[in-house]
Structure 1
Amino acid sequence: MDVEDRRRYFIVGSLILEIVQPLFRTRLENDYSSKGIGSLQAFLNTLPVLHTLFHLRHRNAYCCKDNFNCRNHSKLPLIYCQWGLLYTENPSQPGHNCHCKFIANPVQLNELDISLTSLVLLNCCNLQQAENNAVHKLRRYKNDYLSHNTECKITETEYKSMWTDLTNFVLQLDPNKQDDIIRIEKRPLDERLCIKYSTDLLNIHKKLNEIVTGIEGIDSAVQELLSYQRNEATCQYCKKRLIEHGIDERKTSPYTLGQNIFYPHHQIDLTSKFSSLLQRTTLDVVMMDDGRLVFCSSFPFRLLISNTEGLEIEVIPGYVDGSCLTAVNSSTVAVIDNHALSYPIIDLYDINIKDKIESVSLQGYEHTYDMTMIDDKLLVGADMNLLIIDYQTGAILQSIGIHCHPWGINVSGNKIFFSEEYENNIYWYSFTDDKIHTLTLPSIPFPMTTLRDGSLFVLCEDGSIQHVSSDGKQFKTLEKDQSQVFSYAGRIRYNSKQKKMVAYSSRFGMTILHEL
């Protein structure tokens, strides 16, 4: 596949999901707010809206109220899963087979995708003619060029014919989006984000979701099978892209706990480049997918970038108290600043342009302890919570209450691993059962990193390395000749694409380890 064709697809998808979708949601909220309606649920419960949407899902149905305005549409654009998201049968209305049989669910605006939001806008809101045309055309462009585009590429000819129209329609809805459009048009291809966007934009998962949710009274085993098939179909493209990038999941076999996996390749002595003070005040380090190292120091506050050999060091100056650092994508890192204000701030830096591009406020929280990524979202330990944050909007998507201040946060499959200061336990939260589980180790753990197979290396206070299974139920201590390369390490970070690990020690600098 031509890389530029792929990048053009990514640009258009980014415009649709990052600008158009929020615009549609805002326009919908403005419409019902202007009528004195306080929530989306209340808006959906109003008789005109319920009546209109009912007939967009049901054919040959005539209502006991307002039957003069009943419509029998030749097409039913509101699909089953969308209707099920919006409405539930009202048990207090037995015997009715019309719109009054249903009541709106407590659905939130951010649960409405671009297709559903545009459908409500076009049929239930008071749009000006130019707005109506813009919403209609943007919806059509999304369907024509993205929703059925299983190749996930857009040719130069297609791009030239659509981009001007797309930007004009966006600016009709909000003239202040010009700078955002320019920023998106210039962005480089982010393969990880592109794969996520393509999954969000393709209609196949929605159609398969209808099959799963539309069959009632089905045996649970069959239900699980259908759900599995739906996920498999959705992920076929992802698997194809992984293989294209040399990451064939069939070649990823689990490690044997405690086996010798890494060997030290070389060390980076920061004192040879700067001073011993820099080595002592470096707080965190990450390895990017291209092998570059990004580390932060607290005196002076700054980010530093180097290649894997520790050469060609570049500096991003600024007031960065890098108590924690994580790679967001191939060109962006996030840094926690606990001292910027009276509440923590997460600053995002583009290491290519060497500048801060975004800040996320955690107002209402006192302290943060660690941070990583989960499904292209930030996962932050704040006070006694695990917060899942959309770094593009700053919205907290989920808050998971826990019993401690979480350190050493790592993600493995559907689990979040973390530890607590002064305890010999590591804990893991499971999204499957919404519970926190415990594994007791021989010594107090802190830094840990997730390996390619989902298992974890955990450094303990007694100097040992514990190799913990991906299910969080077993561990094995590495032999001393294996673990001594991690002596005095304060941070360890594994990069599955590079198949390398960086271990940072205030005494010895940074050690780069390669996978056997």
Structure 2
Amino acid sequence: MDVEDRRRYFIVGSVILEIVQPLFRARLEKDCSNKGLGSFQAFLCTLQVLHILFHLRHRNAYCCKDNINCRNNSKLPLIYCQWDLLYTENPGQSGHNCHCKFIANPVQLTDLDITLASLILLNCCHLGTSEENAIRKLRRYKNDYLSHNTEGKINETEYKSLWKDLTYFVIQLDPNKQDDLIRIEKRPLDEGLCIRYSIDLLNIHKKLNEMGTQIQGISSGMQMMGPQIQGTSSRLQVIGPQIQGISSGMQMMVPQIQGITSVMQELLSYQRNEATCQYCKKTLIEQGMDERKINSYKLGQDIFYQHGEIDLKSLFNENYIERITDVVIMDDGRLVMCLYCQSRLLICNTDGSEEAAIPVKGIPCSITAVNNFTVAVAILKTSIIQRNTLEILVHDIYNKHKLKSIPVPGLVCYGITMIKKQIVVGVDRGLLIVDYLTGEILQNIETRSIPLGIHSSSDKIFFDDYTRNTNNLHWYSFTDDNIHTLTLPSVPRSMTTLRDGSLYVLCKDRSVQHVSTDVKQFKTLKTNQSKDFSDCHKIRYNSKQKKMVTLNRRTGIVKILHEL
């Protein structure tokens, strides 16, 4: 093996274990501190964290508490040994098949490797856009170039591209790590340290933990494996220098295991048979889709049926003309609504049970989901002394507290949405792109009209022309930096994107137009299909929930539609 290829592997492994892993642990510690928790064990004990992690390990389980937020994940990214590290079953609660029968172990942050730390960060913590992206990318680099790399080398071509990206995302998390990166990059190959890093990065101890009873009683295990063990020595040579000293390393981690050769053979067999790893196929899963290709809907086909209805009229005075201005359905299925005349946000479940009411200073006009835990709300503030002012309120709906208030140059909000993890606000004759972390206005897109009912999908921002009241559906495309138009049978008022990328557009005449993904064709839903949309002003779809909600702003009626 080329010594430089081996050294490059060692350099990347050193960055991951000496810089990235401590950074992930430090970010977890920060989240614990921000929540006022004295220890990581206390963090694991919180209902929200326990509930999330429970469903990342257990399938077909529904909890006695907070069951509206139970999830039946197609993949279980939290493996057995990770779950056993974090939690222990409470014998006194053995009758329950839910998260309440588990108690957190006295785990220290130093007990977490990079995989487990990143899993908890991405699922249980409040991360900024750049933080989340950096953590995902660094975890992916660890998997692609180290955990799945049984050759223990990285060639020069791969390294040049990798090092540039690796350093960029490390600096994103901590700009003070520049000197450490330079120091490590100049480091000569330390073969002994490299072997130790290889053992850790290949996660061999986790695989052995998963094997459980398979590696107990090594003699019977070897007989059971039979011909698979033949030629073990030659197959082990594939790993090369990485398995030098593996026996002592494994004895350190799992002293009860004897006969390391057969164990390594089983590990190699596992690696060969696993065509892909559970930590690879990320993109579709993160978007709420499984690995199967999503078939396109036929335009105008029957897709939804009404499953329930929430009547909120009792919350309002009969004299109120507009009771609810907007609604969003979160990834966990909860609804968050803007109560126009009451200056508050209402959080409720799809069965109508109220969970919380959050007061806001001003009139909540429009709302959008930022991530699983956060919403952005356009707030209109009125004052006798000053003219109306507009601001964006970024709110944590789990902990029920305001994260940020962003003033926006404008007097009226004509809608709010998210695109490319940035906030978009419709204002007079323009679309403002706002960084919700810093409050900086990144772009002002001139529309030459008042953009109403704005909605984002892929690289497009859709809107209609409020002033001209025409039948034109407009959209701005980031691809060509232009505004395009599609003429519909009626004036568009509210839009939402379905799972295949096509759109439902609710029009002024209460018809619904099903618009193709390329925005070149459309078809009107038939009368029997569109009856559930006939008395609403807003429509919102969530792809993870596969549910549509419709809102009548004046009556306070919210309908819950399920996908067929």
Q: Give the TM-score normalised by structure 1.
A: 0.57
- Of the candidates 469, 472, 475, which is equivalent to residue 425 of structure 1? 472
Change (3 A) 1:306 1:115: closer
- 2:371 is equivalent to residue 329 of structure 1: yes
**Residues 152 and 299 (structure 1), Cα distance of their counterparts in 2 relative to 1, 3 Å cut:** farther
Distance 1:317 1:261, change over 3 A: same
Distance, in Å, in 2 between the alignment partners of 1:331 and 1:141 is 37
Q: Taking every aligned residue pair, what percent have the same amino acid on both sides?
A: 46
Bigger drift between 483-492 and 256-265 goes to: 483-492
1:450 and 1:276, CA in 2 relative to 1: closer, same or farther beyond 3 A? farther
Judging changes above 3 Å, is the alpha-carbon distance between structure 1 residues 140 and 479 closer, same or farther for their aligned structure 2 residues?
Answer: farther
Measure the CA separation in 2 of the matches of 1:153 and 1:356.
42
> Which of 398, 420, 425 matches 2:443?
398
Q: 1:244 to 1:285 in 2, by over 3 A?
A: closer
Number of residue-to-residue matches in the alignment: 337
2:546 maps to a residue whose letter is K
Q: Tell me the alpha carbon deviations over residues 5-56 of structure 1, each in whole angstroms, 9 at most, x when there is no partner.
A: 334554999599559x9xxxxxxxxxxxxxxxxxxxxxxxxxxxxxxxxxxx
What secondary structure is seen at the aligned counterpart in 1 of 2:361?
coil
After superposition, residues 349-428 of structure 1 pair within 5 angstroms as 349-363=395-409, 365-421=410-466, 422-428=469-475
1:509–1:396 distance in 2 versus 1, CA, 3 Å = same
Asked if the contact 2:347/2:355 (under 8 Å) is kept, the reply is yes
CA contact (8 A) 1:321 1:337 kept: yes
Is contact 1:270-1:276 (8 Å) kept?
no
Could you tell me which of 481, 485, 488 is aligned with 1:438?
Answer: 485
Compute the displacement of 1:284 (Å). 0.7
Unaligned regions of 5+ residues in structure 2, if any? 1-76, 84-115, 135-155, 188-196, 204-277
Corresponding residue for residue 562 of structure 2 = 514
**Which residue number corresponds to residue 44 of structure 1?**
none
Corresponding residue of 1:500: 547
- State how far apart, in whole Å, the 2-side matches of 1:326 and 1:141 are: 43
Q: Is the 8 A contact 1:372 1:410 kept in 2?
A: yes
- Residue 368 of structure 1 aligns with an amino acid whose one-letter code is C
**SS state of the match for residue 136, structure 1?**
helix
1:303 paired residue among 345, 354, 361 = 345
**Secondary structure at 2:354 match in 1:** coil
CA drift at 1:258: 0.6
What displacement does 1:350 show? 1.0
1:286 equivalent in alignment to 2:333: no
SS in 1 for 2:415: strand
Q: Following superposition of structure 1 onto structure 2, how do residues 18-29 of structure 1 map, counting pairs within 5 Å? A: none
Between the aligned partners of 1:16 and 1:325, the Cα distance in structure 2 is 19
| SS at 1:368 equivalent | coil
Gap runs ≥5 in structure 1 = 22-74, 84-111, 122-130, 155-235
The aligned counterpart of 1:312 is 354
1:253-303 deviations in Å (ceiling 9; x for gaps) = 111111111011111011346665679411111111011011111222101
The aligned amino acid for 1:310 is G
SS in 2 for 1:463: coil
CA positional deviation for 1:416: 1.9
Deviations 1:413-442 (A, max 9, x none): 222211112111001222222221111111
The Cα offsets for residues 362-421 of structure 1, whole Å up to 9 and x where unpaired, read as: 13x343311111122112222222222210111222332222111122222222211112
8 Å CA contact 1:7–1:153 kept in 2: the answer is no
1:6 aligns with 2:118: yes
**2:300 pairs with one of 258, 267, 290:** 258
Name which of 393, 397, 408 aligns with 1:347.
393
Q: Mark the CA change 1:434 to 1:246 in structure 2 (over 3 Å): closer, same or farther.
A: closer
Contact 1:5–1:153 (CA under 8 A) maintained in structure 2: no
Deviates more, 1:313-322 or 1:300-309: 313-322
The answer on whether the counterparts of 1:445 and 1:459 sit within 8 Å (CA) in structure 2 is yes
Relative distance call for 1:357 and 1:388 in structure 2 (3 A) is same
Most deviating of 236-245 and 255-264:
236-245
Give the match's secondary structure for 1:250. coil
Q: How far is 1:116 from its partner?
A: 7.8
Q: Residues 283 and 298 of structure 1 are in contact (CA less than 8 Å); yes or no, is this contact kept in structure 2?
A: yes
Task: Tell me how far 1:333 sits from its aligned partner.
Answer: 1.0
The whole-number CA distance in structure 1 between the counterparts of 2:168 and 2:452 is: 35
Deviations along 1:59-85, one digit per CA (max 9) or x if unpaired, are xxxxxxxxxxxxxxxx99x969999xx
Amino acid corresponding to residue 390 of structure 2 in structure 1: P
Does structure 1 retain, via aligned residues, the 8 Å contact 2:313–2:556?
no
Residues 427 and 437 in structure 1, CA contact (< 8 A), matched pair in contact too: yes
CA distance, structure 1, for counterparts of residue 366 and residue 516 of structure 2: 25
Give how far 1:482 is off.
Answer: 1.2
Report if the CA contact (8 A) 1:270-1:278 is conserved: no
Shift of 1:446: 0.7
Larger Rg: 2
Question: How large is the Cα RMSD of the aligned pairs?
Answer: 4.3
Q: Secondary structure at the match of 2:449?
A: coil
